Chains A and B, each alone.
Chain A
């Protein structure tokens, strides 16, 4: 326990752990996503049925979370790539702060649009 108490998680380590966890979550989602979209092969009825099933509040809520995971992995990935290329290496904490700010702003913007559609879009 003493070891754990003295183990200080640095910002870069936290970003790295979150990158791995979000990445594993995203590949799991991607495989599910491919399975869901493959219902297109079975025709319109089959596809509409699965989309209907996925239009419940639970899945809408999960979708907003998914956007957050995607955007975190995306911006932190760009930050890691910049550092790997030797860009802004000395300013990596600033770079992480920028990534977090852009992450939260774009996530909330997309989430706001999604929430505003909870009543449903016009089906024309």
Chain B
């Protein structure tokens, strides 16, 4: 098994970005869990979610949460695969697959969050 020694420009920057996004997620994900799963007075309903997501602050938080979580998670997946997959074609295939999953997930998430407006 040969180990590919590649110089990836921007690798250190991406590694640093993984830490920065991680800190952001630690804060927002913790709040997400507490607000939506612990400090609940009633069962989550469509109406309650629609009202929350319609506010500009929550919409901003939720959209940034979506983008940051997907980046952190999918880039993290790539970091793991990068360690074990050494064949060129397999790397391209998996990277392409991750990119497609990223594109679909971002689109689906954004389409879900955008339509909610105050009073609507």
- A residues near B, CB below 8 A? 20, 23-24, 26-27, 30-31, 34-35, 37-38, 40-41, 44, 47-48, 51, 63, 67, 70, 74, 77-78, 81, 84, 110, 113-114, 117, 120-124
Contacts and interface: CB of A to CB of B under 8 A. Distances in A.
Among A34, A35, A47, residue most surrounded by chain B Cβ atoms (within 10 Å): A34
Nearest to A81: B19
B55 to A, nearest CB: 15
Given A40-B46, A121-B41, A124-B42, 19 more contacts: A30-B70, A40-B49, A40-B50, A40-B112, A41-B115, A47-B46, A47-B49, A48-B45, A51-B44, A67-B33, A70-B33, A74-B29, A74-B30, A77-B22, A81-B19, A110-B37, A113-B37, A121-B40, A123-B45
Interface of B: 19, 22-23, 25-26, 29-30, 33-34, 37-38, 40-47, 49-50, 66, 69-70, 73-74, 76-77, 80, 101, 105, 108-109, 111-112, 115
B42 A123 contact: yes
Nearest to B77: A27
